Structure 1
Amino acid sequence: KAGKGQDVFFEFIDGINTNQPFDDLNGEDVRRTVWDDMVAITERHNAPGRFTSFIGWEWTSTPNGKNLHRVVFIPQGGDVASKFIPYSSFDSNKPEDLWAWLEETSSRTGATFTAIPHNSNISGGLMFNDVDSEGRPITAEYARTRMKWEPVIEVTQIKGDSETDPILSPTDEFADFAPFKHMLDSESLKSGAEPQPEPGDFARAALGRGLQIEAKVGINPYKFGMIGSTDSHTGMASAEENNFHGKTAFDSTPANKFNSFLDIKG
């Protein structure tokens, strides 16, 4: 209301990046209320055969601006979803801890979770790494667990393409399709600093890395399917090329669609 929406946005981003929760927003009563509302809305709009709505949330781990986000959903309805409150990156920003929670919660509630890594292109090399969150070489157990919960990844969306990059695929004339050159931390967004593409950011390199890891430990942690999606935050069901709504509410006017987020006030 005071016209400081951008300042609030950066404060929120910094809180996620440093894993410092906002107590007023992270209490169990608040999380339960929001989750119950989301479940009710999803149930209300689900129309089998005409429109499918999944119950889910985004686990927004972004350590030091390096994107490790996962979209987590279940095919079951509200009767199952009401038995848990979603696991937050404030609970832990390590994927291994998310998987452990999925295992425990699935066993307890019967929920069938799928977690989809997205925007690996701005993960700072972490999304498809050759070590775990503690810097240890990937083991067979890590690979087995990851494949159980993450059999598919998002390879393209509004915030850029995650297949490859010209630096990694110099002979591919299409490797520069839809790059996104910003890490998700306030300083990089403000300065326009561009990260160096790394093999751990992109799906094509991950496929090769997965085979190398499989040769060592017997299981491939990166044997995944791929999807494309929007990652729009407009409330619209999807996007059309000839009627593009934009990524966020800031894109609601034609002028704003051509502006950087930093150029939009309020």
Structure 2
Amino acid sequence: MSRVKIYATTILLCAVAMLTGACDKPERQATDSTEPRLVSYTEERVPCSDYRPERRALFGDLHVHSAYSFDAAANSLDTYPDHANRFAKGDAIPFFPLDADGKPVGTIRLERPLDFVSITDHGEFLGERALCRTPGSPRYDTAFCKQYRSSERQGMLMLGTILNLEQPQRIASLCDDDGALCREWSRGPWQEMIAAAEDAYDRSESCEFTSFIGYEYTGTPGLSNIHRNVIFRNSVAPSVPVSYIEAPTDLMLWEQLDQACPEATGCSWVTIPHNSNLANGRMFKPLGGAGDARRHAEARLENEPVIEVFQHKGNSECINGLAAIYGEVDELCDIEAVRRFGQTRATARIGMQDGQLRVEQTVVSTEECGDDTGQDGMLGGGCVDETDFHRSNLLAGLADEQDLGVNSAKLGVIASTDTHASTPGATDEQNWGGHVSREATPEERLQPGLLTSGIEGNPGGLAGVWAVENSRDAIFEALERREVFGTSGPRIAPRFFASWDYPDGLCGADDRLEQAYAGGVPMGGDLAGRPGDAAPVFLAAASADTVESAPLQQLQIIKGWLDADNRKHYEVFTVAGDPDNDAGVDLSTGKRYGDGHEELCAVFRDPDFDPDVPAYYYLRAVENPSPRWSLLDCLRIEESARPAVCGEDSPIPKV
């Protein structure tokens, strides 16, 4: 039996955002109340009045930090999960700049509220932070806590360097030898995080806003990023988060979540890998030995349905130059690319030694990992593995299926911001105010910072889901079935379907969605049961974000496959629109020019389909070029005072 994997993803085009989208007609409301609702409720709530069986696009952010995170700029702003939830709903909250006393005097507001959010503060150090910042706590007056409070960066590093260890341990002088004091003190912040999500959730029939309980698991062994966001389906959650300190591998994380959050109690969760461009081959590496590979793959397939491919730390959709991946150079892989092969950069290795802040200048380079894993990804260094980028990781999954009988890389994609300023969904490049410390002004943002901050950062993206209604259960089920998408900021709603017999004129059909669902599978699914000598037919569509963003330029379908010798290939097909449409950006004003499309739709048949070749397909929608945030910041500064990154010869992209 031939089986074809299809995926929908997002990518960025020209610095502002290019995503996958869809050109759907207005969707019909359910009219027959006797039909079963396509959502299974696990909580007490009123059913949503705006229920759509053909599903609608909802936009959210599932990677957000507030002042409960040990490394958040929000610690300077004094903004917490309640602020972040209110911001996502459209309320103004405190923001930069800070006054002479370090208090925020600015405000920020999201012009278009989100549909859903999860405030995912780091699960590590909730207790340590509370002990050092709560007057009267058993450790408040200790030397450690006094030093911790002496500066934001000092406090962050005193705790954060623990996460760089393969076998992390809590600080005995702060947490006691068994760590119990810090775990106990983590209950208070965790319960406040839960309460904030519960208070923000709209359980009325209006279903205007959904807030999930969640946190970030923050493993950074060898300065390689293996972070994951843990999202809970409903109000049932563990008494404290399972952190990297208790569970230093992903398999241990899943096992301990099963114990702390048993299904029999109504608890359910998924983990979502952080965008993997800084992982040095560690994000998906089985750490239990070769004999553990199949068990690891099965556990991942069960617990990890989607991955984040874009956020303020860059793009992990694809990279050019992997030696064992065959395909033409794809220039769109370079959009917000933090890693490039052959790149050498000077950076600072920051840590603690004998209780003192230590800064060591170092030079890091980017090479391919081969059979080993690397380190220093969070510095922009160390090796790059094929599993660090979504396109090649999907190919690695096809190869694993040949060897193990299990493809654990069947991942849907989302994007998010990873804001550290309590500002979920703040992705507008026209008015971006920064996500981390030292990004409060154009002058600060245009300076080099820690990797992926300052000039190398970006506003991040949005998570999108196709759900029958805006409720926790409906959105969670969309994540589980992988009918999701990610954008690099714009609110483009994508749709991608596959079938064995879609008609050529499907784009123009009034009942396009009904036909697409009835005769095929949506993004994230497997197309099985090939009849006779049929070849797959794809419906690809996208509609532009007409409120704040650029028109669409083109739709692309990316195919990946293994040949008869198990070599890995990909090809990019432009199926609608035109990449050479003469659209662009006036660099002297930051204004866009050129025509594009509000909607694009195509029915595509693979001209080289081979039923004996394992393959996947995903959709990428591309906008016309837009100005990068840094170009707009440069234009806000008097020409004579602009930093070097604003110059014509700067390697920093303008669009």
Bigger shift: 60-69 or 237-246? 237-246
Cα distance, 1:177–1:55 mapped onto 2, change above 3 Å: same
The match for 1:12 is 159
- The yes-or-no answer on 1:107 pairing with 2:263 is yes
Task: State the SS of the aligned residue for 1:226.
Answer: strand
Equivalents in 2 of 1:189, 1:134: separation in Å? 33
Equivalent pair of 2:270/2:303 in contact (CA under 8 Å): yes
Aligned residue runs from structure 1 range 122-161, under 5 A: 122-129=278-285, 132-136=286-290, 139-161=293-315
Deviation string, structure 1 residues 20-73 (Cα, Å, up to 9, x no partner): 323536612211111011111111222252222110000001111111000001
Task: State the SS of the aligned residue for 1:115.
Answer: strand
Equivalent pair of 2:314/2:336 in contact (CA under 8 Å): yes
Cα distance, 1:28–1:7 mapped onto 2, change above 3 Å: closer
Equivalents in 2 of 1:109, 1:172: separation in Å? 48
Cα distance, 1:46–1:185 mapped onto 2, change above 3 Å: farther
- The structural deviation recorded for 1:137 is 5.3
Q: Which amino acid aligns with 1:85?
A: V
Equivalents in 1 of 2:290, 2:348: separation in Å? 25
TM-score, length basis structure 1: 0.86
Deviation string, structure 1 residues 212-245 (Cα, Å, up to 9, x no partner): 1111121101111001111111101212222223
- Ranked by relative contact order (alpha carbons within 8 Å, sequence separation 6 or more), the top structure is 2
Cα distance, 1:200–1:138 mapped onto 2, change above 3 Å: farther
Aligned residue runs from structure 1 range 17-96, under 5 A: 17-18=164-165, 19-23=168-172, 24=174, 27-48=182-203, 49-77=207-235, 80-81=236-237, 83-96=238-251
Cα distance, 1:133–1:122 mapped onto 2, change above 3 Å: same
- The structural deviation recorded for 1:246 is 1.7
The match for 2:350 is 186
- The yes-or-no answer on 1:162 pairing with 2:162 is no
The match for 2:333 is 175
Equivalents in 1 of 2:199, 2:385: separation in Å? 42
Q: Among 256, 261, 265, which residue is 2:449 paired with?
A: 261
The match for 2:425 is 238
Cα distance, 1:184–1:209 mapped onto 2, change above 3 Å: farther
Cα distance, 1:2–1:11 mapped onto 2, change above 3 Å: closer
Structure 1, unaligned runs of 5 or more: none
Equivalent pair of 2:433/2:441 in contact (CA under 8 Å): no
Equivalents in 2 of 1:56, 1:64: separation in Å? 25
Q: Which amino acid aligns with 2:386?
A: P
Equivalents in 2 of 1:174, 1:58: separation in Å? 29
Equivalents in 2 of 1:191, 1:180: separation in Å? 17
Equivalent pair of 2:149/2:155 in contact (CA under 8 Å): no
Equivalent pair of 1:45/1:53 in contact (CA under 8 Å): yes
Bigger shift: 23-32 or 224-233? 23-32
Cα distance, 1:29–1:128 mapped onto 2, change above 3 Å: closer
Equivalent pair of 1:67/1:184 in contact (CA under 8 Å): no
- The structural deviation recorded for 1:202 is 1.0
Equivalent pair of 2:349/2:362 in contact (CA under 8 Å): no
Equivalents in 2 of 1:113, 1:28: separation in Å? 21
Equivalent pair of 2:169/2:245 in contact (CA under 8 Å): yes
- The structural deviation recorded for 1:166 is 2.0
Deviation string, structure 1 residues 70-113 (Cα, Å, up to 9, x no partner): 00011202xx12x5211010102100100111222233532110
Equivalent pair of 2:164/2:223 in contact (CA under 8 Å): yes
Equivalents in 1 of 2:416, 2:213: separation in Å? 16
Task: State the SS of the aligned residue for 1:71.
Answer: strand
Equivalents in 2 of 1:71, 1:189: separation in Å? 31
Equivalent pair of 1:65/1:185 in contact (CA under 8 Å): no
| Richer in helix (by share) | 1
Structure exhibiting the larger radius of gyration computed from Cα positions: 2
| Richer in strand (by share) | 2
Equivalents in 1 of 2:149, 2:211: separation in Å? 35
Deviation string, structure 1 residues 142-161 (Cα, Å, up to 9, x no partner): 21111111000001111011
Q: Which amino acid aligns with 1:110?
A: G
Equivalent pair of 1:167/1:197 in contact (CA under 8 Å): no
Structure 2, unaligned runs of 5 or more: 1-147, 340-344, 352-358, 365-380, 455-655
Task: State the SS of the aligned residue for 2:307.
Answer: strand
- The structural deviation recorded for 1:10 is 2.8
Percent sequence identity is 31
Equivalents in 2 of 1:16, 1:208: separation in Å? 30
- The structural deviation recorded for 1:3 is 5.9
Task: State the SS of the aligned residue for 2:271.
Answer: strand
Equivalents in 1 of 2:169, 2:149: separation in Å? 24
Task: State the SS of the aligned residue for 1:259.
Answer: coil
Cα distance, 1:106–1:176 mapped onto 2, change above 3 Å: same
Cα distance, 1:252–1:45 mapped onto 2, change above 3 Å: farther
Equivalents in 1 of 2:265, 2:448: separation in Å? 43
Bigger shift: 90-99 or 233-242? 233-242
Equivalents in 2 of 1:185, 1:127: separation in Å? 22
The match for 2:416 is 229
- The structural deviation recorded for 1:185 is 6.5
Equivalents in 1 of 2:269, 2:360: separation in Å? 33
Equivalents in 2 of 1:222, 1:258: separation in Å? 37
